[in-house]
Structure 1
Amino acid sequence: MRADAFLAAADSLPLADLDALVGPGGLVVVAPHPDDESLGCGGLIAAARAGGRDVRLVVVSDGCGSHTHSALYPPDKLRLLREEETRRAVAVLGMDPDRASFLRLPDAHVPSEGPQAEAAAAAIAEVASACAAGAVFVTWRHDPHCDHKAAAAIVALARRQRPGVRIYEYPVWGWTLPPETEVGPAPEGLRLDVSAFQAIKAKAVAAHESQVSDLIHDDPTGFRLEPAMIERLCGPYERFVAVAE
C-alpha cells in the first residue's frame, strides 16, 4: 500500500477507549528521541494518567543529534537539557517524571540488532513488567528516520520477553514520506479521541524548547520542529497501528 493511502486509512481507524486500546494494566511509551513521546502519544499519556493508569516512558537515544554545531550546548549539556525538557513535558501530561527512563544510545546511530539493541530491549521489557503493561507504544517502522525504525525493531525484540503484551506503532515523521512510498498492507489498529487533552499536549510539546524555539541560537544547522508538523500531530485524534504477533 502507498504511504498516502496507508496514512489516510490510519486517519479512519476505529475509535476506541483506553480499555479497548490497552486492556488491563499500565502502558509503556517508547520514544526514539526526547519529544517523540509528546508529539505521538501526548494525548494517550494524558488520558491514561487521568484514568489512573501507570504510565512509563523509555527514551532510547540521547537526543544529541539535534544541534551538533552548538558551542553553547555541547553534547553532554545538550543531553541533560533534552532530558530535563522531557521530564517537564511528561509532568504537564500528568505523569511522574521519575517514571521516565533514558537509555542514552547515540542519536542517529541507534542499533536495530546486536548487543546494544538486545540490552535496550531487555530494559524496555523490564519497564513493561514493572507497570504490568497491557501495551507498548513505539514509533512506526516506516517513519523516515533511522532511529524511529530502530526503536520499532528494539520493541520487537522486547516482545519476545513479554509475550501477550499488545504492540502499537505511532507515526511521527511518516507524514513526510513521499506519497508513492510502499509501506505494506493496510493498517489495523485504533484511534484514540484526545480532544479533551489537546491543550496540554500542545503545552507538553512546547516544553521541548530546544526543538521548537531559538533557545539554542548558535547552530545554524540545528533542528527545529515546523509549526505545521506540530499542528498535524496535535489534532483531536492519535492513531495507533497494531503490530501482529
Structure 2
Amino acid sequence: MALKFLPMSKVKKLFLNRKIQIVVIVLSLFFVPSFIYASFNHVLPQSAIYLLDNINVPQKGDKLLVFSPHPDDETIGVGGYIIEATKREAIVKIILVTDGNKQGKEVKRYEEFRKATSILGVKNDNLVFLDLPDGKLRGKDEVLLDKLFKDQIDDFEPNYIAYPHPLDIHPDHSVTGQIVEKVIKNNSKVTAYKYLIHDYRYPQPKKYRPNLFLLPPVDVVTNDKQWKRLLLSDDDLKLKEKAISQYHSQLRVPFLRSLILSLVRKNELFATMTLDE
C-alpha cells in the first residue's frame, strides 16, 4: 500500500493552527486567572505590571511641572519621577495648591515640604505656594482656579506635567486634576501624566510593602486611558523613603501613615491624558 503524504500547504496550515492553539492556551492561562483575581479583589494582579509600558522621563533641558494638592502628595505620588528628572538635569517646578492647614499645621507642613522636595532634588526657588484653603477646593471659584493654574503653566512653559487623577476620591485632588486637564486640554506641546493617591481599593494592601508593585484599581482602568509605570531603582526608592520621612506631622497619624507607606513600592504609576478628553 502506497503511503500518502499531505500537501505541504495543508501541513503548514495544520502547523499554523497548532501554534495558534498553543498561543491561545498560554494567554488563557495568564488572563483568565488574572481576570478572576481582578473581579474579586478589584485590583490588577502583580503580574499585570509587565503589561504596562514605561513612562517617558524628562531629560536635560526639559521642564516638568508637578501639581501637588497638599504637602506630601508630590513625594508619595511622583517622588521617584521627580528624582529621575532632576538626576537628568531637567528643570522641575512644584505647585503646592493648598496650605495643608486643615489641622492648623501650615508652618510645620511647609517646612516638611521644603525639606522633602530638597531631597528629591528640587530647588527652593522652584516651589510655588498658592495658599488655597486645605479641604475647600470644591467650593472655590472655578474661574479663579482656572486663572491661577493657567498663569503658572503659561509662565513656566513645561513640556511635562504631572497632576492628580480627576477620579481620585479626595475632593482637593479631583478638583486639581479636573482644572489642570481643562487648562491643558488643547496644548499639544505638553506630555501630561496623572497620578492616583486616594481610592477605596488602592493601593493594595494598605501596608508598607516595598517589595510589591503598584497597580491601578479596576474601577479606573478603561480602554481609552493607558497606564504606564516607572520602575524604581533601589537607590531611588531609598531616596524617596528619605523624603517621605520628612513628613512627621502626617506619619504620626495611623491611617495616614498606612496610606503614605503603602505607596512606597517598586514602581510609580501614571495614567496618560489624550487631547480629546
When the two structures are superposed, what TM-score results if normalisation uses the length of structure 1?
0.78
The answer for the alignment partner of 1:114 in structure 2 is: 142
Where do 5+ consecutive residues of structure 1 fail to align? 68-74, 215-222
| Aligned pair partner of 2:171 in 122, 136, 146 | 146
The code of the aligned residue for 2:264 comes to: C
Match of 1:225 among 256, 261, 272: 256
Aligned counterpart, 2:230: 192
SS at match of 1:43: helix
Residue matched to 1:202: 241
Q: TM-score, with normalisation over the residues of structure 2?
A: 0.69
Describe how 1:1-245 pairs up with structure 2 within 5 A: 4-5=42-43, 11=49, 12-18=51-57, 25-65=62-102, 67=103, 75=104, 78-111=105-138, 114-129=142-157, 133-160=158-185, 162-174=187-199, 176=201, 182-183=219-220, 185-186=222-223, 187-195=225-233, 196-213=235-252, 225-227=256-258, 229-245=259-275
Deviation at 1:191, TM superposition (A): 1.0
Structure 1 pair 234/181, CA: closer, same or farther in 2 (3 Å)? closer
Q: Could you give the per-residue CA deviations for residues 44-65 of structure 1, whole angstroms, max 9, x where no partner exists?
A: 1111111111001001111112
Q: Distance in 1 between matches of 2:126 and 2:145?
A: 21
Identity of aligned residues (%): 25
Q: After superposition, give the CA deviation of every residue in 1:46-105 in whole Å (9 maximum; x if it has no partner).
A: 11111111001001111112x2xxxxxxx3xx2222112111101011111221111111
Rg larger in 1 or in 2? 2
1 or 2, which has the higher helix percentage?
Answer: 2
User: Which structure 2 segments of 5+ residues have no match?
Assistant: 1-37, 205-216
In structure 2, C-alpha distance between the alignment counterparts of 1:4 and 1:86, rounded to whole Å: 33
| Matched-pair contact (CA < 8 Å) for 2:203–2:263 | no
SS of the residue 1:18 aligns to:
coil
CA contact (8 A) 2:61 2:89 kept: no
1:204-239 per-position Cα deviation (integer Å, ceiling 9, x unaligned): 11111111127xxxxxxxx85223x23321112111
Change (3 A) 1:193 1:182: closer
Q: Which is bigger in relative contact order (C-alpha 8 A, separation at least 6)?
A: 1
